[in-house]
Amino acid sequence: MNRKITELECDSLLIGELPDGCRLCAKGSKMVLFVTGLCDSSCYYCPISQNKAGHDVVFADEMPVSDETDILFETKAIQAEGAGISGGDPLCQLERTLEYIQLLKRERGPDFHIHLYTSQTDISEVDLQRLKTAGLDEIRFHPQTSDWSGIQRAIQVGFVVGIEVPSLPGKHDDLIELTRRAEEIGVSFLNINELEASETNFDKLVSLGMKLTSMDGASIKGSASTARKVLDWSKDNLRNLSVHFCSARFKDSVQMRNRLERRLEQTIRELEERDDSDPLLILGIVRAPHGSLLSSSELESIYQILETQFSVPINLLNLDEERKRIEIAPWVLEEIAETLRNTITNIVEIGIAFEYPTWDRLQTMFNPL
């Protein structure tokens, strides 16, 4: 038997074949469609943020979804080749989930790969058939009980079926038993994710004696080594099941980076530059000092001054009403910053911002001018 463990990027490991959903995630071409924060389970290690957990909200990657056009916008923005439907638990809003699967297959074509993540391992054959008819390609289960009847039904219905669980430090015996059972019933793959801390699970993890691997990351000490023990056992004891350990570093340094690169290419504007090394946008910003906001009339006044008195072309200038700021080409702002400060009467911050190309434009640095 003695199958091979393949070392992937950033400490990830693989026995067998990488699932199609993971392959596309690694390329950064899978949109994460968060269909609801509602869930029937209560996993103490759940990393979902406070604004999502327990709330019936929808997000396409980082973008709050108000209607279907938001979902389609994000698929175009990252040149998506597929979508991963998550939550919460998508089956807690089955009708919505079916609607979104049908939407994506209709608008993006039959080859648009869709997988779904659920903890409902007792799902009925009727619901599985509805998911199959809608166009779902792959289903991943996170078992919470010993009732795997839904997993067996999903295999019989014809889905590509996987199991996806976190690697809990020291729990390799439990993971090995889960792996053995998955092989026996014909599951295609097992994904083992490195356990990570978040603002919502950190206190619980600490109360159980868990520690961070390092102060500059979120991975939990002992999670990776536990997963490695399971893969070492798997290579000698499994014939068919693919086993994949996905490290926290892989998610940040490969998967997320590639998705940001794809989004940057599609959404960068004439008034922005890109950073030489990281998928960051560089732009000039005029805004109120920290803790205050410019009014709409103040923003409009500054915009008019830039357009008329400084002759800034409108394609290099933008009034961002939502973020209450003026955006301007950084090379332009660097030339006029001192004069502009002396021209406008408002108390403002003027500088160069470095931001991720996500919907929420997370800022990593601001250099005042």
pLDDT at residue 16, as a whole number: 96
Q: What is the largest CA-CA distance in the chain?
A: 76
Nearby residues of 276 by Cβ (< 8 Å), 6 or more positions away: none
209 and 357 in a single domain? The answer is: no
CA distance 157 to 132: 8
Per the listing, tokens 């000490």 go with: 221
Checking DSSP bridges between strand 273-274 and strand 325-328, what pairing results, if any?
unpaired
207 and 322 in a single domain? The answer is: no
Sign of CA dihedral 260, 353, 200, 211: positive
Statement: residue 174 has pLDDT above 90:
yes
Q: Measured between alpha carbons, how far is residue 308 from residues 137, 144, 269, 333 in Å? A: 55, 63, 21, 15
Residue 39 lies in a domain: yes
Residue 159 lies in a domain: yes
Q: If you average pLDDT over every residue of the chain, what do you get?
A: 95
CA distance 219 to 338: 45
pLDDT, one tens digit per residue, over 3-12 is: 999 999 999 9
- CATH assignment at residue 138: 3.20.20.70
257 and 306 in a single domain? The answer is: no
Nearby residues of 84 by Cβ (< 8 Å), 6 or more positions away: 21, 25, 30, 31, 32, 33, 114, 115, 116, 117
Residue 172 lies in a domain: yes
Q: Which of 200, 232, 266 is the last residue of a domain?
A: 266
344's tokens: 């406008």
pLDDT at residue 214, as a whole number: 86
258 and 283 in a single domain? The answer is: no
CA distance 193 to 84: 15
- Residue 216's pLDDT band, with cuts at 50, 70 and 90, is confident
305's tokens: 């001054």
Residue 217 lies in a domain: yes
Structural domain count, the chain = 2
Statement: residue 211 has pLDDT above 90:
yes
pLDDT at residue 83, as a whole number: 98
**Stretch 157-186: mean pLDDT, rounded?**
97
Statement: residue 47 has pLDDT above 70:
yes
Q: How big is the chain, counted in residues?
A: 369
Q: Is 85 helix (H, G, I), strand (E, B) or coil?
A: strand
Residue 181 lies in a domain: yes
31 and 172 in a single domain? The answer is: yes
Q: Which of 218, 244, 266 is the last residue of a domain?
A: 266
87 and 144 in a single domain? The answer is: yes
149 and 238 in a single domain? The answer is: yes
29 and 63 in a single domain? The answer is: yes
Q: Residue type for 145, please?
A: T
Residue 315 lies in a domain: yes
34 and 102 in a single domain? The answer is: yes
Q: Residue type for 282, please?
A: I
CA distance 136 to 286: 46
Residue 321 lies in a domain: yes
pLDDT, one tens digit per residue, over 12-42 is: 999 999 999 999 999 999 999 999 999 999 8
pLDDT at residue 1, as a whole number: 63
280 and 197 in a single domain? The answer is: no
Residue 1 lies in a domain: no
Domain that holds residue 221: 6-266
Check: CB of residue 87 under 8 Å from CB of residue 37. yes
Question: What is the DSSP-derived secondary structure letter of residue 55?
Answer: S
Q: Is 141 helix (H, G, I), strand (E, B) or coil?
A: strand
279 and 243 in a single domain? The answer is: no
Statement: residue 2 has pLDDT above 80:
no
**Stretch 311-339: mean pLDDT, rounded?**
96
Question: What is the DSSP-derived secondary structure letter of residue 251?
Answer: I
Q: Which of 266, 290, 324 is the last residue of a domain?
A: 266
171 and 195 in a single domain? The answer is: yes
145's tokens: 């009980």
